[in-house]
Structure 1
Amino acid sequence: MTLSSNSSSYFRMLALLIPLIIPYVDAETMGYDYPSSVKGSNSWRNIPSSEFSFWESAGVRPILVNGMFVCGFHCSFSGDSCLFSVSIFNNVSDGHGTDSSFSGQVVWSANRNNPVEIQAVLELTSQGNLILNDANGTLLWSVSKSISGLNLSAEGNLVLFNKTNHMVWQSFDHPTDTLVVGQRLLSGKKLRGSISPEDPSEGLYAFALIGGKLAAYVNSDPSQIYYANYSLEPNNNSVLLQTGRFGSFSVAESVRFIQLGSDGCLKAYEWKDSKWDWTDLLNLGPCEYPLRCGKYSVCLEEGCSCLDYASENQTNYFRPLNHSNPDLGCYAISPISCDLPLHHSFLQLQGYYSQAIYSLLFSETTTTIQDCQEACLNNCSCKAAIYTRGHCTFLSQVFSIKRTDDGDGDDNISAFIKVQNSVISSLNFPRRKKQNTRVIVGSTLGAIFFVFLICIFIFLRLRKGFQEVEEDYLDNVLGTPTRFSYEDLRNITNNFSNKLGEGGFGSVFHGILPSASQVAVKNLVGFGPVNKSFVAEVQTIGSIHHFNLVTLVGFCAEKLNRLLVYEYMANGSLDLWIFNKNRETALHWQIRKQIICDIAKGLAYLHEDCNQKIIHLDIKPQNILLDEDFNAKVSDFGLSKILGKEQSRVITTMRGTPGYMAPEWLSSVITEKVDVYSFGIVVLEILCGRPNVDRSQQEEDWHLLGLFRRKQEEGKLMDLVDQCSDDMQSNAAEVEEMMKVATWCLQAEYARRPSMSTVVKLLEGSVDVEGNINEEYLNGLTPEAMEAIILPSMLSGPR
């Protein structure tokens, strides 16, 4: 039915009157006939109700109701953003609704980081899976536990049970930012505060039971604690929120739930004066919260300021993110990069200051303040250093700095903020203004020291060469593998006599270590990009280890020689096996499926399980290596990009291989989803046994994506499957399911592509790929257009 504009205006006007109508609506109209438990396969669609109900006025579309708790879709008042959640209301079962229409508070949600839209569907399938799909069919959340029903307990616990009525999953075991009375905080679980009151997505603040302590911390890399207190149950692995108490915290008898706020406060909520009222259990001062003023800021009684905005320092290193809202923090004008230490210097803080952090990146006993500075310069993760009485402590993040009024502070404490491409300057925090002479003298000394640094740098380049400076730098990179001499590698490879292959950046040779282990030695040839690729490779893969990533055994950086030593992969690169058109060596379906799963696991580790997010940027068959058992391992990290855990995207120059690059490369703003797109291309190549761009085919079939789209329209997808493998056709159903995975990864909009961890779950069968292959997945920039825009000379070739 279509409403006229007058009707629409009428309903909008009535919506404004709902709070006035609600007190006179009876219990039946308010929806109290909703069950607390359901059984059997079913589905629930997130659609607005045409009735003027209590629940619609509160932004909730219920599925289950029990006492003061409601499970269903909880939407913003605009209706554009909804969570599948459990919400608490103030005594909705009294049948009156007074002061309750807008009292709902979300206490658990399944999809806080991925809100759904109108028409989203929650489905309990006949196979026993509970699945939440957005309106466009995107899978956002699922539980696969042979589920036969859902139950909402009177305590607010969403319980999923099987055919024998045994619990197989419960929301109490998976808290978000809230605990309700009767719920335990288990060891290993944590509360994560939201980004803001308007954005329910996970922010940086967290709260957990750690080693018998209840601790609040910033979920950075590494975690940094700003509050810790012993619980009353130090020997247990959980702490119960009960009436009047939570661990060592005393709470009011009327408290219904506690919540970690977006501001880092642990708030205990009770219904008071017709609203949810809260008290902060941590009871810290405003400046004790590390993100009170954002990053690189000073927290003052009168407000927040950037570090150098709070002084008379003439050089600005930081700027506010928003001049009209200084509480958001500041950013470095020149961000810290992992370049040579000579590109970094320090901004010294003097006077009394503190950062409310207990657990820090790294600390060591040093003899001098110079040793402390040098150690921080050589540690890429160190953003600041604090030196006190021979003890040096590193900070991996510079959060809000608290200035106190206790005089000039401890003269034995010095703090240094690492800055990029600038001179060592002084930044004082005393209440008295600096004298002009101190400013002049400081600026003069700073300028002299800057010239001195430049002279040293030029001298090093002329005397030792850029490569030798790089050698010294590599020695200080944390987690670097074994360093070999050039003579060692000459002996290992029998004078580089057994060549395994050759690429654009050099040749690969077979070698045998003294321990009898076989290795592959890559000898890089060239300057500029080759050196950059070499350093990126050592930094990236040298400090990480995963079964599906090629292990970097060691390296050589000696004069002009740049060599990388990898574990030996007996079956070479993947392209040799899928593009050779030889029936005798064609891979069987089970091996291809395992290779696809191995690649996905390696990428999922890089994107989500490393200390820092790593984007590979050059996923292609030539960079997938196979061991003697055909286990696949991702290799060649020369183009990779390292991001902090808090970074979601990065701006970088275009890099990669034509035919494997995602459409968003045209904007140079990329995320880890560019690897997901490349993975999708590789999956199609494995299934079809041909390259994405193959000019040996007829002209209309040059581009695999275009051919794939055409065959999909004709319903002849199996025509594309590699004909060299006899068992591919006999496994047609599984092959087509794998094609669905590939098309999901190849969507033009990167936000609609799955994460690699989701892909792993799909491949392992813990969630299903539902729906048909649709050409809209491939409606982005065509391969022909990509090839016309991207010049191969700009990108990497075979290596």
Structure 2
Amino acid sequence: VPQMAAVRDSSALRSLPFFFLLLVANSKATMLNITNRCSYTVWPAAVPIGGGVQLDPGKSWTLNVSGLTSRGRLWARTGCSFDGRGDGSCQTGDCGGTLACTDYGQPPVTLAEFTTGRGQTDDFFDISLVNGFNVPMDFLPVPTKGGPGCSKGPRCEANITSRCPTELQAPGGCNNACIGNGTSNCEPTTYTVFFKQMCPDAYTDYNDFTCPTGTNYQVIFCPPFNLTIEPAPASSLPAPSRPSSKRLKSSILRSHVVIIIAPVGGFVLLAVLVTIIFFTCKCNQRAQRHQEMEEEEEFGELQGALVRFTFQQLEVATWQFADKLGEGGFGSVFKGQFGEERIAVKRLDRAGQGKMQFLAEIQTISSIHHINLVRLIGFCAEKSHRLLVYEYMPKRSLDRWIYSCHDNNAPPLDWSTRCKIITHIAKGLSYLHEECTKRIAHLDVKPQNILLDDNYNAKLSDFGLCKLIDRDISQVITRMRGTLGYLAPEWLTSQITEKADVYSFGVVVMEIICARKNLDISQSEEDIHLVTLVEEKVKSGRLVDLIDKSSTDMQAHRQDVIEMMKLAMWCLQIECRKRPNMSHVVKLLEGGDMKANTNISNNIVAISPTKFGMAGNLSYSDSPQASDLSGPR
């Protein structure tokens, strides 16, 4: 109990004077000085004494571990969060969510194990990976002048988590194959060999380290590589030989000659180069700090109800970005787990989506809320890292379910499910176009950006290319953006309205019904373009030929399907003014008379960009000379 009380007095525990007073009081006391050199906070815990504390980067914690009656253990917990009452949890080793741990944390954890004397003359200590790995660690004896020698201390400075085999990956670390993945697979190739290669000093085959009792130790979390523990003993250095007098005079003469003839210009050049390098680095650092401060101000205004994550938190939550859900034009999406909630993390891993698009996506989706729009939970803007955290949609994107080559074994979607998905897409677009303060044109409506939950409820996602349009402006001029195959004809003039989304919606409806992509190069040459094929079929009265043949339910509802295809054709009108508003589409889908809207043109393929129904006030936005096309996702 006195030991636990000492731990609770965190200011005393962390102060160096306390450390030295104990050394004076008991020369045989064994002290652990625990330092966190990680870039993030850890919550180290020790048993059977010591409890646990919060240890911020650069801080230390001192423990007296003398005279333990049982083997002691120390580990660093990570990914922890606590409320004002101290309640919370950690990604690894949560000890029931408390700081004062009295038992092991859950694996994976990197353990420091130690036995201090117990009547013997030596201490025994090691770094163990028996419970897996989560934080690099050193356990080093502190050398004493003139004291007895120690064996070297164990080091495990490699970050094993980033190179952990897939079958051993876990939140925040790397499992031991023997206990971590529910199997008894402890073969050397997956356990001993892997850990020994990454961390040669680790305790995997009974390799303890020893020091005389009373030695003090330095425990370092996230230690630097190639740390020098102590200089080599003087006795191990070769004794210098004494040169002869003649040889010494000759050497001095040669050195004087070299000094005299050495070009002074070499030193001047070196000084100039050093000066240039110094000032260049200073300027770069100043510019980088200025940019980071500007971005911090910009992103600081965005938080609101959003969670701002650190990059390390998202690394832990996604198991080092191990489970990729998909890849798009601006980055990749990974599955993750944060607390009790499953999440999808979009990591912008190339320069395609810059800061402006990133800001646009956060600003847009954080200010809107609709059941048919994917929910943005938070974001990360840390140095060069740009990540967005969304709710996880278990059935992922629509393209996996409507194309005949989808990669799952589920039967084709029935007609009612396809109708529900189409209606949900329409509702999401209607909200963006007509219910927000400013009209929001999504500009990248396609099956890859439509996500499904367990009940096939559809939600629009990926707002990186969206455009806000003032209500008193009919259209804007902007650079081409979107995905080939879903672009409305008016993009050829760069004059767009929210009706560009209506056209993309029509393409998606046709893809859902026909179970194929609009642009499909695997088809014969005359069938590559679905919209062109639709125009030909409607003129010959053979729209039924395009209905998904793999679904008997679709064939059974062919008349209703034909009416839905005619609605899609209305959305595919070349002149944007002739396309319906999405709110009108929603009314038709929810019970309106579909047959009453058949007065539409059957010509839905643009032949030339001469006129696409453009008129009214124009707002010039981005320069139209460049295109910003999204790749397949």
- The residue that corresponds to 1:500 in the other structure is 325
Which residue is 1:618 aligned to? 444
**What is the CA–CA distance in structure 2 between the aligned matches of 1:620 and 1:528, rounded to whole Å?**
19
2:469 counterpart letter in structure 1: L
1:640 aligns with 2:466: yes
| Distance of 1:460 and 1:747 partners within structure 2 | 54
**Quick one: higher RCO (CA 8 Å, sep 6+), 1 or 2?**
2
Q: 2:318·2:337 contact (CA, 8 Å) conserved in 1? A: yes
CA distance in 1, matches of 2:315, 2:542: 54
Matched, 1:565 2:389: yes
Aligned 1:459-470 pairs, distance under 5 A: 462-464=287-289, 466=291, 468-470=293-295
Q: Which of the residues 471, 474, 477 maps onto 2:302?
A: 477
Matches within 5 A, 1:157-176: none
- Matching of residues 214-363 of structure 1 within 5 Å: none
- Output one character per residue of 1:638-661: Cα deviation in whole Å (capped at 9) or x when no partner: 000112232321111111111111
Would you say the 8 A contact 1:600–1:759 is kept in 2? yes
**Alignment correspondent of 2:606:** 780
The equivalent residue for 1:517 is: 341
Cα distance in 2 between the residues matched to 1:512 and 1:688:
36
Counterparts in 2 of 1:487 and 1:683: CA distance versus 1, 3 Å = same
Does structure 2 conserve the Cα–Cα contact (< 8 Å) formed by 1:480 and 1:538?
Answer: no
Secondary structure at 2:345's aligned position in 1? strand
CA distance in 2, matches of 1:578, 1:792: 32
Q: 1:606 to 1:722 in 2, by over 3 A?
A: same
Could you list the per-position Cα deviations for residues 239-264 of structure 1 after superposition, in whole angstroms to 9, with x for gaps in the alignment? xxxxxxxxxxxxxxxxxxxxxxxxxx
Deviations 1:127-177 (A, max 9, x none): xxxxxxxxxxxxxxxxxxxxxxxxxxxxxxxxxxxxxxxxxxxxxxxxxxx
Contact between 1:592 and 1:686, CA under 8 Å: does it hold in 2?
A: yes
Residues 771 and 600 of structure 1: is their aligned pair in 2 closer, same or farther, counting only changes over 3 Å?
closer
* Identical columns (%): 52
Please give the secondary structure, in 2, of the residue aligned with 1:728. Answer: helix
Q: 1:732, CA displacement in angstroms? A: 0.9
Partner of 2:6: none
Q: Is the 8 A contact 2:567 2:594 kept in 1?
A: no
Change (3 A) 1:728 1:596: same
Change in 2 beyond 3 A, CA 1:586/1:698? same
Offset, 1:596:
0.3
Q: What is the CA-CA distance between 1:754 and the residue it aligns to?
A: 0.5
3-state SS, counterpart of residue 548 of structure 1: coil
CA distance in 2, matches of 1:581, 1:792: 34
Q: Note the C-alpha offset of 1:794.
A: 4.4
Distance (whole Å) between structure 2 residues aligned to residue 792 and residue 462 of structure 1: 28
CA distance in 1, matches of 2:471, 2:393: 31
In the alignment, structure 1 residue 591 sits paired with structure 2 residue 425: no
Q: Specify the code of the residue in structure 2 equivalent to 1:557.
A: A
Partner residue in 2 for 1:749: 575
Structure-1-length-normalised TM-score: 0.40
Tell me the amino acid that sits aligned with residue 659 of structure 1.
G
1:714 to 522, 540, 555: 540
Q: 2:607, 2:443 → 1: CA distance?
A: 19
2:327 counterpart letter in structure 1: E
CA shift digits 1:280-335 (9 cap, x unpaired): xxxxxxxxxxxxxxxxxxxxxxxxxxxxxxxxxxxxxxxxxxxxxxxxxxxxxxxx
Per-residue deviation at 1:715? 1.4
Match of residue 308 from structure 1: none
What does 1:187-206 correspond to in 2, within 5 Å? Answer: none
Distance, in Å, in 1 between the alignment partners of 2:472 and 2:303 is 21
2:402 to 565, 578, 601: 578
Question: CA, structure 1 residues 546+699, in 2 after alignment: closer, same or farther (shift >3 Å)?
Answer: same
Question: Residue 797 of structure 1 aligns to which amino acid in structure 2?
Answer: G
Q: Which runs of 5+ in 1 are unaligned?
A: 1-457
What secondary structure does 1:539 align onto?
A: helix
Partner Cα separation in structure 2 for residue 580 and residue 792 of structure 1: 34
CA distance 1:773–1:592, change in 2 (3 Å): farther
Q: Aligned to 1:564, what secondary structure does the other structure show?
A: strand
- Paired AA for residue 372 in structure 2: N
CA distance in 1, matches of 2:477, 2:463: 18
Structure 1 position 494, deviation (Å): 1.9
2-structure distance, mates of 1:593, 1:754: 18
User: Is 1:668 aligned to residue 494 of structure 2?
Assistant: yes
Contact 2:574 2:604 in 1 (8 A): yes
Q: Give the corresponding residue for 1:732.
A: 558
Q: Distance in 2 between matches of 1:782 and 1:703?
A: 17
Partner-residue secondary structure (3-state), 1:565: strand
Displacement after TM superposition at 1:792 (Å): 11
Aligned to 2:316: 491
Report the Cα distance in structure 1 between the residues aligned to 2:608 and 2:561, rounded to whole angstroms: 24
Q: In the alignment, is the contact (CA less than 8 A) between 1:479 and 1:543 conserved in 2?
A: no
Q: How does 1:27-38 map to 2 (within 5 A)?
A: none
**In structure 2, do the counterparts of structure 1 residues 676 and 552 end up closer, same or farther at CA, with 3 Å as the change threshold?**
same
Question: Contact 1:663–1:781 at 8 Å: present in 2 too?
Answer: no
Structure 1 residue 467: Cα displacement: 5.3
Amino acid at match of 2:421: I
In the alignment, structure 1 residue 654 sits paired with structure 2 residue 480: yes
Deviations 1:35-89 (A, max 9, x none): xxxxxxxxxxxxxxxxxxxxxxxxxxxxxxxxxxxxxxxxxxxxxxxxxxxxxxx
The code of the aligned residue for 2:382 comes to E
Between structure 1 and structure 2, the one with the greater Rg is 2
Rounded Cα–Cα distance in structure 2 between residues aligned with 1:647 and 1:477: 26
Instruction: Find the residue that maps to 2:570 and give its secondary structure.
Output: helix
Matching of residue 530 in structure 1 with residue 354 in structure 2: yes
CA offset at residue 512 of structure 1? 1.1
In structure 2, the CA distance between the partners of 1:476 and 1:713, relative to structure 1 (3 Å rule), is same
Higher strand share: 1
Instruction: Indicate the residue corresponding to 1:685 in structure 2.
Output: 511
Deviations 1:340-364 (A, max 9, x none): xxxxxxxxxxxxxxxxxxxxxxxxx
SS of the residue corresponding to residue 778 of structure 1 reads coil
Please report how far the alpha carbon of residue 523 of structure 1 lies from its aligned counterpart in structure 2 after TM superposition.
0.9
Task: Give the residue type in structure 2 aligned to 1:675.
Answer: D
> How far apart, CA to CA, are the structure 2 residues paired with 1:538 and 1:525?
17
The equivalent of 1:796 in structure 2 is 630
1:798 aligned partner, one-letter code: P
C-alpha deviations, 1:593-612, integer Å up to 9, x for none? Answer: 00000000000000011122
Which runs of 5 or more structure 2 residues have no equivalent in the other structure? Answer: 1-282, 613-623
Give the Cα separation in 1 of the matches to 2:626 and 2:527: 21
Instruction: Please name the residue that 1:554 is paired with.
Output: 378
Task: After TM superposition, give the deviation of residue 793 of structure 1 in Å.
Answer: 7.0
CA contact (8 A) 2:446 2:508 kept: yes
d(CA) in 2 for partners of 1:751 and 1:461? 52
CA distance change for structure 1 residues 637 and 781 in 2, over 3 Å: closer, same or farther? Answer: farther
1:468 positional shift: 5.0
Structure 1 residue 709, shift from structure 2 partner: 1.3
Structure 2 matches for 1:30-109, cutoff 5 A?
none
Higher helix share: 2
Cα deviations by residue, 1:426-480 (Å, 9 ceiling, x for unpaired): xxxxxxxxxxxxxxxxxxxxxxxxxxxxxxxx99971326455223202113746
Q: Quick check: 1:494–1:511 contact (8 Å CA) kept in 2?
A: yes
Residue aligning to 2:68: none
TM-score using structure 2 length: 0.50
2:520 to 666, 689, 694: 694
* Cα distance between partner residues in 1 of 2:577 and 2:417: 30
Measured against aligned partners, the alpha-carbon deviations of 1:566-601 in whole angstroms (never above 9, x if no partner) come to 000000111111113468431111110000000000
